[in-house]
Amino acid sequence: ARFNYERTGYPEKNTLEFFKFVRKGFVELSVTKNFILDLKKEGVEVYYLSNINIETFNYLFDNFPVFKEFKDGICSEKVGAVKPEKAIFSAFLDKTKLNKEDFIFLDDMEKNVNTAQSLGWNSVVYNKYNAKKVIESIFNSWFFMFSFV
């Protein structure tokens, strides 16, 4: 949690306690879980690019089975950069060896999608308000051309 502590400016103990508290509030969104499982059923690789710290990611991996469906990915703490900083997007490509033309990046934050688009990534804002529409669009038009991040 050192990375989070440094970025927040709060004492390390407070930062650790905050992240422990936040973890208790995570819930699995069935529409997203089912989307990931449907992609996997069709043989599509799914990756993650996350601003959460390693401890929180490990908690999610251990407590939500859908996280085991990801082939690979990167957490911000590992690279010392967070979305929408361009460095984390570059680190993701370096780690996964993917070509930006071969996947669709989905994120719930427009600023992250904007950065990804500025780097030439196929990118879509995906959140609870448009999830069904985005999923339908992907399965109807883009589906077999891409992996998903």
**Could you read off the pLDDT of 10-21 as tens digits, one per residue?**
666 666 666 665
For the question of whether the overall pTM of this predicted structure is more than 0.85, the answer is: no
**Could you read off the pLDDT of 100-138 as tens digits, one per residue?**
988 889 998 999 999 999 999 989 888 878 888 888 877
| Per-residue confidence (pLDDT) for residue 144, from 0 to 100 | 43
Which candidate, 108, 112, 48, 52, places its Cα nearest to that of 77? 52
88-115 b/e with 16+ CB inside 10 Å = b? bbebbbeebebebeebbbbbeeeebbeb
28-41 b/e with 16+ CB inside 10 Å = b? eeeebeebbeebbe
> Which single residue is written with the structure tokens 């879980």?
33
Amino acid at 64: F
